[in-house]
Chains A and B, each alone.
Chain A
Amino acid sequence: MTTIYEQRPGLSRRELLKRGTIGAALIITGSAVISPDRAWGMATTALKPDTMATLIKLARDIYPHDSIADRFYAIAVKGHDTKAGTDGQHKELIEAGIADLDKRAGEGGYRGLGWEDDRVEILREIETTPFFQAVRGDLVVSFYNQKELWPHFGYEGESYSKGGYIARGFDDIEWL
């Protein structure tokens, strides 16, 4: 499904710091995006790793769930890299869309804007563009359809194999 992987030790902390990204920011190295705590990394094949890092940020700004880790947003947008690999038009749509975000954000780019509100202001300007529509339209499925995330929302998913809810609380409400 996704080539996201547990980051093996390799880059030293010092090396990572040298590459200029610190704190909560995603780290860009070669052809990969690496989480600041180095818990995971994701190689890109068609999109620039910088583009992927911005896509991840953008995904969180679209559906901001503060207690859900970046990893899940990364998984959700990974499909754009895959699609860009076989679809030149899609690659152009995403690369140009991200470049446009960076341009609107000014020096430091989109990821450089510290406040979500400032980034969202830019998104409100572009929310009707094909780029934003493509990213959001895909994300609403690729993000919320991750089974690993359902417990966060309190959704239990498949229930047939457990015999339904007839003996598992279909009518257990007590506060009424």
Chain B
Amino acid sequence: MTAPYDLNDDSVVVIIGSGAGGGTLGNELAQKGIDVVVLEAGARIEHEDFINDEWDSFAQLAWLDHRTTGGGWRVSKDFPNLPAWIVKAVGGTTTHWAGASLRFQEHEFKTLTHYGEVEGANLLDWPLTLAELEPYYARAEDKMGVTRTNGIEGLPGNNNFKVFKAGADRLGYKECHTGRMAINSADRDDRMSCQQTGFCFQGCKWGAKWSTLYTEIPKGEATGKLEVRPNAHVVKIEHDDSGKVTAVVYADKDGKLQSQKARIVCVAGNSIESPRLLLNSASSKFPDGLANSSGQVGKNYMRHTTGSVYAVFEKPVHFYRGTTMAGIIRDEAKHDPARGFVGGYELETLALGVPFMAAFLDPGGWGRSFASAMDSYANMAGLWIVGEDMPQEQNAVKLHGEMKDKYGMPIPDVWFTDHANDVAMRNHAYTQGEALYAAVGATRSFPTPPYPSTHNLGTNRMSEKPQDGVVNKWGQTHDMKNLFVSDGSQFTTGGAENPTLTIVTLAIRQADYIAKEMAAGTI
């Protein structure tokens, strides 16, 4: 039933990327009867073919095109060609994601107002409020089947959660539960319930976890209005003299360049590829790249203030069994500057298998200290810190000065340095995490540094005024009416929450707007 559209069909909406943003938007538009072509750089790998093996799965799904990174963060030293851990496949990073689905808090849409000017930070209020988004959040939670919403039961707690919960209770934390997860706790939406397999990061072979790959995309395809073209790597967006985008150029599976005409183009390649594409689409009319009159394309790169705490106990935990992210503590998510930083953070359980634990526990670490930690693997529990980081102009996705990809386009160079606020928050979280595990009898704990970025945000940010950002409150670029941004790069600030629910929410809302404007003939 997939609708194949002609390359010269200039009535279609072209979406670049099929992940949380692009996949959702594609389905939402198709449901409204709008013709959509989704161009996806990666292959289509159905969930039955996912692999319960960390490195093999990584090779199967991860975005491994050449990237470089710089700045003060440790990732640039430990993983010089892997600034981010994201996916290149139909479904995007919703194949790898853990499923934590949290709404932003009201004040997080107005950080400049609530936090005030923070030196060195490029804070800005979103041109949106929580109240405006609430109906769309509700639709997203229903669509994704988020536990603890819509009457859906929470998931059962695994061993890692039980240790975490015991520690939370001893520290006096009040809001600790098995999370709001886009993972079925019972059969729903023709998908089965979680079997506690423990390979959520490798793609859920049961389809229990929401991914656009086997929810939004087939639903959209069933309308006959959505074509997903895999192995279609977009290299450039083209425009006419009037400043309207007209087509996108992509390399097909054989590396041959093709041009797909478009009425509207929506960029949803995640926060590294989306700004890269806008910058690489520079023309004589727009020498600084498309939609970049503000100069903000690629700037304000955020990746959440993260880190992990792993701890070793006298007796086994087997924390790798069951959902990878199996519980949350929300008490620290509030904005309470008395702690020495603005914004807040969430604590969420996390487990890695032996191969990834070796790579990420203490990147570069070796010797007895490291090996004995690994020897304690079965007795480990672990949590992940995810907190709001400060947007900073110099943290940016730039085009590499010399290196080009196989299509001749400059590769992205990702710069990031922690803000002092990020460091203070991470240290606070490390202290809390270590105290939590000590309270349950941990004999040793590890404040583990951030992994390559899984949450990539902010590089095409939303702003009220065109001079402050790239897109308006609908994700429509300030400069070009028929060019939209539909992924996490729209985020004005990052909040403390995992971003995907908000990305999906914005995509649903954007679809309504696009349909309305198309009907009105304004785009």
Q: Give A contacts to B, CB under 8 Å.
A: 61-65, 120, 123, 127, 136, 140-141, 143-145, 149-150, 153-161, 163-166, 168-173, 175-176
Q: Which residues of A contact B195 (CB under 8 A)?
A: 163-166
Q: Which residues of B contact A157 (CB under 8 A)?
A: 52-53, 353
B163, B198, B359, B366: most-surrounded residue (chain A CB, <10 A): B366
Contacting residue for A145 out of B355, B364, B367, CB 8 A: B355
Q: Which residues of A contact B45 (CB under 8 A)?
A: none
A137 CB to nearest chain B CB (Å): 9
Kindly state the separation between the CA atoms of A172 and B321 in the bound complex, as whole angstroms. Answer: 10
Q: Which residues of B contact A164 (CB under 8 A)?
A: 194-198, 206
Q: Is B159 an interface residue (CB 8 A)?
A: yes
Q: Is B222 an interface residue (CB 8 A)?
A: no
Q: Is B523 an interface residue (CB 8 A)?
A: no
- 8 A-B residue pairings within 8 Å (CB atoms): A63-B371, A140-B358, A141-B359, A143-B358, A154-B379, A159-B198, A173-B317, A173-B318
Contacting residue for A173 out of B163, B206, B358, CB 8 A: B163
Given A156-B320, A171-B158, A166:B358 Cβ within 8 A: no
Kindly state the separation between the CA atoms of A155 and B205 in the bound complex, as whole angstroms. Answer: 19
Contact assessment for B197 and A64 in the assembled complex, using a CB-CB cutoff below 8 Å: no
Contact assessment for A166 and B196 in the assembled complex, using a CB-CB cutoff below 8 Å: yes
Kindly state the separation between the CA atoms of A166 and B322 in the bound complex, as whole angstroms. Answer: 7
Beta-carbon contacts under 8 Å, B332-385 to A:
353-355, 357-359, 364, 366-368, 370-371, 374-375, 377-379
Q: Which residues of A contact B53 (CB under 8 A)?
A: 157-158
Beta-carbon contacts under 8 Å, B283-341 to A:
313-318, 320-322
Q: Is B515 an interface residue (CB 8 A)?
A: no
Kindly state the separation between the CA atoms of A168 and B196 in the bound complex, as whole angstroms. Answer: 9
Q: Is B157 an interface residue (CB 8 A)?
A: yes
Kindly state the separation between the CA atoms of A155 and B163 in the bound complex, as whole angstroms. Answer: 18
B303 CB to nearest chain A CB (Å): 23
Q: Which residues of A contact B355 (CB under 8 A)?
A: 141, 144-145
Kindly state the separation between the CA atoms of A159 and B55 in the bound complex, as whole angstroms. Answer: 15
Q: Which residues of B contact A127 (CB under 8 A)?
A: 366
Q: Which residues of A contact B316 (CB under 8 A)?
A: 154, 173
A79 CB to nearest chain B CB (Å): 14
Kindly state the separation between the CA atoms of A168 and B321 in the bound complex, as whole angstroms. Answer: 9
Given A160-B205, A171-B156, A172-B159, A153:B354 Cβ within 8 A: yes
Kindly state the separation between the CA atoms of A154 and B166 in the bound complex, as whole angstroms. Answer: 23
Kindly state the separation between the CA atoms of A89 and B157 in the bound complex, as whole angstroms. Answer: 51
Contacting residue for A170 out of B159, B314, B359, CB 8 A: B159
Contact assessment for B197 and A160 in the assembled complex, using a CB-CB cutoff below 8 Å: yes
Interface size on B, residues (CB 8 A): 45
Kindly state the separation between the CA atoms of A172 and B157 in the bound complex, as whole angstroms. Answer: 10
B324 CB to nearest chain A CB (Å): 12
Contacting residue for B162 out of A136, A165, A173, CB 8 A: A173
Contacting residue for B377 out of A155, A166, A171, CB 8 A: A155
Q: Which residues of B contact A144 (CB under 8 A)?
A: 354-355, 357-359, 374
Kindly state the separation between the CA atoms of A143 and B316 in the bound complex, as whole angstroms. Answer: 23
Q: Is B199 an interface residue (CB 8 A)?
A: yes
Contact assessment for B315 and A170 in the assembled complex, using a CB-CB cutoff below 8 Å: no
Select from chain A the residue with minimum beta-carbon distance to B358. Answer: A144
Kindly state the separation between the CA atoms of A61 and B368 in the bound complex, as whole angstroms. Answer: 8
Q: Which residues of A contact B197 (CB under 8 A)?
A: 159-160, 164-165
Contact assessment for A176 and B166 in the assembled complex, using a CB-CB cutoff below 8 Å: yes
The number of A-B residue pairs with CB atoms under 8 Å apart is: 118
Q: Which residues of B contact A172 (CB under 8 A)?
A: 159, 318
Contact assessment for A169 and B367 in the assembled complex, using a CB-CB cutoff below 8 Å: no
B333 CB to nearest chain A CB (Å): 25
A134 CB to nearest chain B CB (Å): 13
Select from chain B the residue with minimum beta-carbon distance to A140. Answer: B358
A118 CB to nearest chain B CB (Å): 14
Q: Which residues of A contact B375 (CB under 8 A)?
A: 65, 153
Q: Which residues of B contact A171 (CB under 8 A)?
A: 156-159, 162, 322
Contact assessment for B378 and A173 in the assembled complex, using a CB-CB cutoff below 8 Å: no
Q: Is B424 an interface residue (CB 8 A)?
A: no
Contact assessment for A154 and B318 in the assembled complex, using a CB-CB cutoff below 8 Å: yes
Select from chain A the residue with minimum beta-carbon distance to B193. Answer: A166
Kindly state the separation between the CA atoms of A128 and B353 in the bound complex, as whole angstroms. Answer: 27
- Known pairs A144-B354, A160-B206, A166-B196 / 14 extra A-B pairs, C-beta < 8 Å: A63-B366, A65-B371, A149-B354, A153-B377, A155-B377, A156-B320, A159-B52, A165-B321, A171-B158, A171-B159, A172-B159, A173-B163, A173-B317, A176-B440
Contact assessment for A155 and B354 in the assembled complex, using a CB-CB cutoff below 8 Å: yes
Given A65-B371, A155-B377, A176-B440, A136:B198 Cβ within 8 A: no
Contact assessment for B322 and A165 in the assembled complex, using a CB-CB cutoff below 8 Å: yes
Select from chain B the residue with minimum beta-carbon distance to A173. Answer: B159
B141 CB to nearest chain A CB (Å): 24
Kindly state the separation between the CA atoms of A29 and B473 in the bound complex, as whole angstroms. Answer: 72
A140, A149, A150, A161: most-surrounded residue (chain B CB, <10 A): A140
Q: Which residues of A contact B322 (CB under 8 A)?
A: 165, 170-171
Q: Which residues of B contact A150 (CB under 8 A)?
A: 354
The 8 residue pairs across chains A and B that have the minimum distance between CB atoms: A154-B378, A164-B195, A170-B322, A144-B358, A164-B197, A165-B321, A170-B196, A158-B52
Select from chain B the residue with minimum beta-carbon distance to A161. Answer: B52
Kindly state the separation between the CA atoms of A150 and B315 in the bound complex, as whole angstroms. Answer: 18
Given A170-B158, A170-B321, A170-B322, A64:B354 Cβ within 8 A: no
Kindly state the separation between the CA atoms of A62 and B374 in the bound complex, as whole angstroms. Answer: 13
Beta-carbon contacts under 8 Å, B165-209 to A:
166, 194-199, 205-206
Contact assessment for A141 and B367 in the assembled complex, using a CB-CB cutoff below 8 Å: no
Contacting residue for A160 out of B52, B166, B353, B354, CB 8 A: B52
B162, B198, B199: most-surrounded residue (chain A CB, <10 A): B198
Kindly state the separation between the CA atoms of A144 and B206 in the bound complex, as whole angstroms. Answer: 27
Given A136-B364, A158-B53, A164-B196, A64:B371 Cβ within 8 A: yes
Given A140-B358, A170-B159, A173-B162, A153:B378 Cβ within 8 A: yes
